[in-house]
C-alpha cells in the first residue's frame, strides 16, 4: 500500500499537492473502493479513471474497442483488430489520445486509420470528456483519453505473461512483461505479439450499391492482420525527484476487405481465398516509435513536471495500382505513404499558493512535420509549430465547494508545400500539364481559450458545472487538399481561408450515492460557430463527386447516465445510457446531423461474485446486455442504420500460489449471433455487417 501511495502521485495532474492528495488520487485510481464523492469533487468536467484490470475484463480486439462499453466513448472499428476513438461522437482530430500526458501523433484524420497504441502496455486510462483544452490545447474539443503507464514496480523482480485467443478472427496473442527495481532505480520491459485471420461475419454475400459480392466461408476477405509491439522504460524514483525514460514501438499490418477498397467494387487476380491468415493487397503497415521522458520534482509547496517526447509515425498504404481518369496505371503498389515526425516538450508547475488556492502554470511547444509519398495524393507536405501557455487556479472555498478557472493562449503556424501530379492532364488548347493539387500556404492561428467550473457537495449529492471554450486549428488536409481521395473515391477540396474551429460547451453533472446505490448523470450543450465540415456537393470534379471543406454553425447536446447498484455483497448491477444529438444550423446541410453520429445506447451489466472457496478471491460471472437505437439522423453518403441488441457473457477467476497468480478470463460476445450494423464503423458504408459470436479466452500468469 505504501508503495502504491508512492507511485501514484506522479500521475496526478489536476490535483493539489497537499499530503492527502496522494490518497484522493489513489481513490480515483481504484474506482470501486474509494469514495466516489471525492472523485466527483475533483474536477468540474467529466473525468473518469479506468483501471488496467477493467480493460482486461472487457478485452476486445484493440484498446478503443475494449473501452467502447464506457458511456460516451465510441470506437469506430476498422475490422476486428483495429479501431479509432471518438468521445461523445467527436472523433478524428476533435479529440486527443495521449500517453502519460503527451499527445499521440498519428494520422487520426483517416477513416481507415486505427490507433497505434498497445492495449496490453497500459497501467490505467484517464478519460476526460468534453474538456481538456486547457491542458492539451488544439484538438481536445471532444475530450482526452490519456493512457497512463505503470511506474515503479513493487518488487525486486516481477513479470506477467498473457496469452489470448479469439474465435471471430482466429486471433492469437501473447503479451509479456518483466520489471524490476534496484534501490531507487527500476525498469520495465514489455512485448506484445498478435496475429489474426480474416474476420467472420454473418453474411454469405454483400450487396454494395447494386454490386453483389459473394463471401468465401462467411469471411471478410483479406481483413487479417498482425501487431508487434515492444517497449522499455527505465526510471529513478527518489523522495523529491522522479524520472522515467521510455521507448516504445508499435507495428501493425492489417489488410482491407479486398472487394470494396476505395468504395469501388473490385475484382482481382489475387487468390484471396487460398488462406485466411495471409495479408494481400490492399493493406496498411504502420510503425510508430515513441521516445519520451517524464520528470517530476516535488517539494512542500511546489510540483514541477517536465515532459519531452519525440515520435515517428510511418504509415505505408498499399493497393493494387489502377488507372483512373488521366492517371495511368501506377508503377507500384504504394498508394500512399505518410511520415510524420513530432517532438514536443511541456512543463507544468503546480504551486500551493495558500490553503485555498492551487495554481497550475504550463508551457508547451511542439514541432511537427509530415511528408507524403505514393501515387495517391491526399494531404500536402507540411510543418506545424505550436506553442501554448496556460494558467489555472483552483479555489477551495470549503471542503464542499470548489471553483476552478483557467485560460490558455496558443500560437500555431502551419506551412504547406505545393504538390503537383506525377502524371499529365490534358488542358484546353491541346496541351497537357502536371496539375497543382496543393498550393503553397503559410498560416498563423492564435487562439485564446478558457474554462471555469464549480463543484459543490451537499449530503449525498455532488453537483458540478463547467463552461469552456476549446479550439482546433484546421489540419493541412482541410486547408490544402485539392484532389481525388482514391481510398474513398471522391474529390476533396480544401479551403485555405478556414478559421480555427471553436467550440463552446456547458457541462453539468449530478451525482448521488450511498453505500449501495450510486447515480451519475452528466449532460452537455455544445455550440460550434464554425465547425469544419466536409460537404458532399452535387458537382463533379474529374469524374468524382466533389466534397468541399466548409464551416457551418453546429449545435450538439447529449448526456451519459450511470446507475450502479450493489444489490448484495455478491451481486452488482450497472445501468448506463448515452445519447448525442447534433444538428447543423447553417450552410448547405442545414438541419442535417454530423457525419458518423453515434446512436443512443443503453447497457446493463449484472455481475455475480460469489466469494466462495471454489471461485477464489475474485471469481465472477457477468452478463452484459447492450441495446442500441436506430440511427436515422444521417448525412450523405451515410446510410440509415437500424438498432440492435446484443448479449455477452464473461467469467473469470484467479488462482494464487505464493507470489504467483494465475488469472483466467472467458468471454463470449454477441452470444445470440445477432447480425447487425454498427453505424460508425468503417465497413458500414460498404454494407458489411459486424462479426458474429466471438469467444475469447485469456490466461495471465503473474509472478
Contacts with other proteins, residue ranges (CB under 8 A): 209-212, 264-269, 320, 322-326, 329, 463, 508, 510, 523, 535-545, 557, 581, 583, 588-592, 632, 634-637, 640
* 460 three-state secondary structure: coil
Closest to other proteins by CB, 147 or 544? 544
Residue 633 Cβ vs other proteins, minimum distance, rounded to whole Å: 8
569 CB-side CA count, 13 A: 4
Closest to other proteins by CB, 591 or 658? 591
SS (H, E, C) 546-571: EEEEEEEEEEEEEEEEEEEEECCCCE
Closest to other proteins by CB, 476 or 558? 558
Q: How many CB atoms lie within 10 A of CB 432?
A: 12
Q: Are 572 and 535 in contact (CB under 8 A)?
A: no
Closest to other proteins by CB, 570 or 583? 583
509-to-350, 392, 626 alpha-carbon distances in Å:
26, 21, 24
Ramachandran bin of 687, using left for φ above 0, alpha for ψ from -120 to 50, beta for the remaining angles:
left
Closest to other proteins by CB, 513 or 610? 513
Q: Residue 702 has what DSSP assignment?
A: E
CA distance 640 to 157: 54
Q: Residue 132 has what DSSP assignment?
A: -
Sign of CA dihedral 487, 489, 494, 500: negative
Closest to other proteins by CB, 264 or 417? 264
Residue 630 Cβ vs other proteins, minimum distance, rounded to whole Å: 13
Q: Residue 500 has what DSSP assignment?
A: P
Closest to other proteins by CB, 279 or 508? 508
CA distance 489 to 480: 18
CA distance 625 to 602: 8
Residue 428 Cβ vs other proteins, minimum distance, rounded to whole Å: 14
CA distance 206 to 12: 49
Closest to other proteins by CB, 554 or 605? 554
Closest to other proteins by CB, 415 or 536? 536
Residue 141 Cβ vs other proteins, minimum distance, rounded to whole Å: 20
Residue 543 Cβ vs other proteins, minimum distance, rounded to whole Å: 4
Q: Are 436 and 401 in contact (CB under 8 A)?
A: no
What cell numbers appear for 310 in the block?
Answer: 519525440
Residue 423 Cβ vs other proteins, minimum distance, rounded to whole Å: 12
Buried b (16+ CB within 10 A) or exposed e, 290-305: bebbbbbebeeeebbb
Closest to other proteins by CB, 525 or 703? 525
Residue 487 Cβ vs other proteins, minimum distance, rounded to whole Å: 16
Q: Is 426 exposed, middle or buried (0-12, 13-18, 19+ CB in 10 A)?
A: exposed
* 148, containing H or E segment: strand 143-148
Residue 325 Cβ vs other proteins, minimum distance, rounded to whole Å: 5
Residue 373 Cβ vs other proteins, minimum distance, rounded to whole Å: 24
Q: Are 616 and 653 in contact (CB under 8 A)?
A: yes
Residue 210 Cβ vs other proteins, minimum distance, rounded to whole Å: 4
Closest to other proteins by CB, 582 or 696? 582
Residue 369 Cβ vs other proteins, minimum distance, rounded to whole Å: 34
CA distance 467 to 91: 21
Residue 196 Cβ vs other proteins, minimum distance, rounded to whole Å: 27
- With cell 470534379, the residue in question is 541
Closest to other proteins by CB, 206 or 698? 206
Q: In sequence order, what are the beta bridge partners of 327?
A: 324
- With cell 506553442, the residue in question is 387
How many degrees, rounded to 5, is the angle at CA 11 between CA 5 and CA 13?
120
* 55 three-state secondary structure: helix
CA distance 18 to 298: 11
Amino acid at each position: 500500500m505504501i508503495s502504491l501511495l508512492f507511485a501514484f502521485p506522479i500521475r496526478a495532474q489536476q490535483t493539489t499537492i497537499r499530503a492527502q492528495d496522494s490518497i484522493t488520487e489513489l481513490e480515483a485510481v481504484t474506482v470501486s473502493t474509494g469514495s466516489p464523492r471525492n472523485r466527483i469533487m475533483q474536477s468540474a468536467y467529466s473525468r473518469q479513471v479506468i483501471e488496467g484490470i477493467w480493460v482486461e475484463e472487457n478485452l476486445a480486439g484493440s484498446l478503443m474497442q475494449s473501452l467502447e462499453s464506457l458511456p460516451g466513448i465510441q470506437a469506430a472499428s476498422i475490422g476486428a483488430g483495429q479501431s479509432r476513438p471518438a468521445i461523445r461522437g467527436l472523433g478524428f482530430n476533435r479529440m486527443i489520445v495521449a500517453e502519460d500526458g503527451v499527445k499521440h501523433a498519428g494520422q487520426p484524420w483517416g477513416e481507415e486509420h486505427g490507433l497505434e497504441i498497445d492495449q496490453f502496455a497500459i497501467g490505467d486510462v484517464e478519460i476526460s470528456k468534453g474538456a481538456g483544452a486547457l491542458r492539451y490545447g488544439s484538438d481536445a474539443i471532444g475530450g482526452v483519453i490519456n493512457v497512463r503507464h505503470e511506474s515503479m514496480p513493487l518488487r525486486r523482480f516481477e513479470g506477467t505473461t498473457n496469452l489470448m485467443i479469439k474465435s471471430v478472427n482466429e486471433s492469437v496473442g501473447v503479451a509479456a512483461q518483466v520489471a524490476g527495481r534496484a534501490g531507487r532505480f527500476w525498469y520495465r520491459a514489455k512485448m506484445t505479439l498478435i496475429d489474426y485471420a480474416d474476420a467472420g461475419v454473418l453474411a454469405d454475400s454483400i450487396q454494395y450499391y447494386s454490386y453483389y459480392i459473394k463471401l468465401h466461408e462467411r469471411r471478410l476477405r483479406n481483413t487479417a492482420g498482425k501487431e508487434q509491439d515492444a517497449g522499455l522504460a527505465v526510471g529513478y524514483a527518489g523522495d523529491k525527484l522522479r524520472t522515467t525514460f521510455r521507448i516504445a514501438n508499435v507495428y501493425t499490418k492489417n489488410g482491407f476487405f479486398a472487394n470494396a477498397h476505395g468504395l469501388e467494387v473490385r475484382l482481382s487476380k489475387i487468390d484471396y481465398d487460398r488462406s485466411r491468415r495471409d495479408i494481400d493487397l490492399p493493406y496498411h503497415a504502420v510503425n510508430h516509435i515513441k521516445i519520451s521522458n517524464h520528470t517530476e520534482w516535488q517539494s512542500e509547496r511546489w510540483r514541477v513536471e517536465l515532459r519531452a517526447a519525440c515520435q515517428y509515425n510511418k504509415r505505408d498504404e498499399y493497393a493494387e495500382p489502377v488507372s483512373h481518369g488521366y492517371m495511368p496505371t501506377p508503377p507500384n503498389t504504394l498508394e500512399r505513404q505518410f511520415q510524420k515526425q513530432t517532438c514536443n516538450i511541456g512543463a507544468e508547475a503546480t504551486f500551493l499558493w495558500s490553503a485555498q488556492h492551487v495554481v497550475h502554470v504550463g508551457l508547451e511547444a511542439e514541432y511537427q512535420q509530415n511528408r507524403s509519398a505514393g501515387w495517391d495524393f491526399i494531404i500536402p507536405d507540411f510543418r506545424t509549430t505550436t506553442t501554448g501557455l496556460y494558467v489555472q487556479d483552483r479555489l477551495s472555498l470549503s471542503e464542499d465547494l470548489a471553483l476552478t478557472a483557467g485560460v490558455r493562449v496558443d500560437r500555431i503556424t502551419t506551412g504547406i508545400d505545393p504538390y503537383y501530379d506525377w502524371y499529365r492532364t490534358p488542358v484546353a488548347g491541346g496541351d497537357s500539364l502536371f496539375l497543382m493539387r496543393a498550393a503553397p500556404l503559410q498560416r498563423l492561428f492564435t487562439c485564446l481559450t478558457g474554462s471555469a467550473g464549480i463543484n459543490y457537495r451537499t449530503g449525498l449529492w455532488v453537483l458540478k458545472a463547467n463552461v469552456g471554450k476549446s479550439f482546433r486549428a484546421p489540419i493541412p488536409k482541410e486547408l490544402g487538399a485539392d484532389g481525388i481521395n482514391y481510398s474513398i473515391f471522391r474529390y476533396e477540396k480544401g479551403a485555405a481561408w478556414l478559421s480555427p474551429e471553436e467550440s463552446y460547451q456547458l457541462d453539468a453533472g449530478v451525482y448521488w450515492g450511498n453505500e449501495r446505490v450510486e447515480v451519475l448523470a452528466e449532460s452537455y450543450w455544445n455550440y460550434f460557430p464554425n465547425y469544419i465540415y466536409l460537404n458532399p456537393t452535387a458537382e463533379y470534379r474529374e469524374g468524382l463527386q466533389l466534397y468541399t471543406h466548409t464551416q457551418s454553425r453546429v449545435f450538439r447536446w447529449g448526456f451519459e447516465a450511470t446507475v450502479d447498484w450493489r444489490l448484495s455483497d455478491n451481486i452488482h448491477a450497472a445501468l448506463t445510457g448515452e445519447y448525442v444529438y447534433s444538428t447543423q444550423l447553417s450552410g448547405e446541410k442545414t438541419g442535417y446531423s454530423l457525419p458518423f453520429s453515434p446512436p443512443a445506447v443503453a447497457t446493463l451489466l449484472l455481475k455475480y461474485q460469489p466469494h466462495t472457496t471454489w471461485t477464489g478471491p475474485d471469481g465472477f460471472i457477468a452478463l452484459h446486455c447492450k441495446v442500441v437505437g436506430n440511427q436515422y439522423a444521417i448525412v450523405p453518403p451515410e446510410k440509415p442504420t437500424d438498432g440492435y441488441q446484443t448479449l455477452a457473457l464473461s467469467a473469470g477467476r484467479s488462482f494464487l500460489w505464493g507470489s504467483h497468480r494465475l488469472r483466467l478470463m472467458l468471454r463470449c460476445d454477441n452470444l445470440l449471433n445477432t447480425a447487425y450494423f454498427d453505424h460508425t464503423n468503417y465497413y458500414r458504408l460498404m454494407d458489411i455487417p459486424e462479426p458474429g459470436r466471438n469467444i475469447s479466452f485469456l490466461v495471465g500468469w503473474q509472478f
